[in-house]
Amino acid sequence: MPSPSGSTRVEMLKESVMILRKMLYSDNNNVNNKSNISFKGKYYNISNAECNPKVVQKPHLPIWIGGGGKKTLSLVANYAGGRNYGLCSFYEYLEKTSILKQYFDINNNNDNNTKVIARSYQDISEDGTAFYS
């Protein structure tokens, strides 16, 4: 079975994160701390799903998203509590961080506490082989 296109995978990721947020962040005033979540999207549909016991981490359990494409960074700015970006140069890291900041500004997300993990490399050898950190 062929893999979906990159843009389709990002759309699928968006729907899955929306479902996770509904499941993990739902405000429950129901008896026995139970609530049922439903979602109808283009790729995923759930009906009366439960997430019990509820997460106790306050204010909520952060959702981490990995990647560095512009569409993925937009999802990070809208939905994530953390971002994991793979192997990159320092300058790529700065570029992606700048793009992410632009998305935060577009969304008026001034109260951003998104955490970032990035692995980088620097070429420190004479023959051009890279040192990875």
Which pTM was predicted? 0.76
Q: Please give the DSSP secondary-structure letter assigned to residue 36.
A: -
Tokens encoding 109:
């997300």
The CA distances from residue 78 to 44, 45, 83, 107, in Å, are 19, 21, 12, 7
Pairing between strand 82-89 and 64-66?
A: parallel
Tokens encoding 102:
């632009």
Within its chain, how far is the Cα of 112 from the centroid? 13
Q: For the chain, which residues make up each domain, given as ranges?
A: 1-59, 62-133
Q: Please give the DSSP secondary-structure letter assigned to residue 115.
A: E
Residues 49-67 pLDDT 10s: 988 877 888 777 888 998 8
Calpha distance 89→92 (Å, rounded) = 5
Q: Which of 13-17, 37-41, 111-115 has the lowest mean pLDDT?
A: 111-115
Q: 28 — phi, psi (to 5°)?
A: -110, 120
pLDDT band at 92 (very low <50, low <70, confident <90, very high): confident
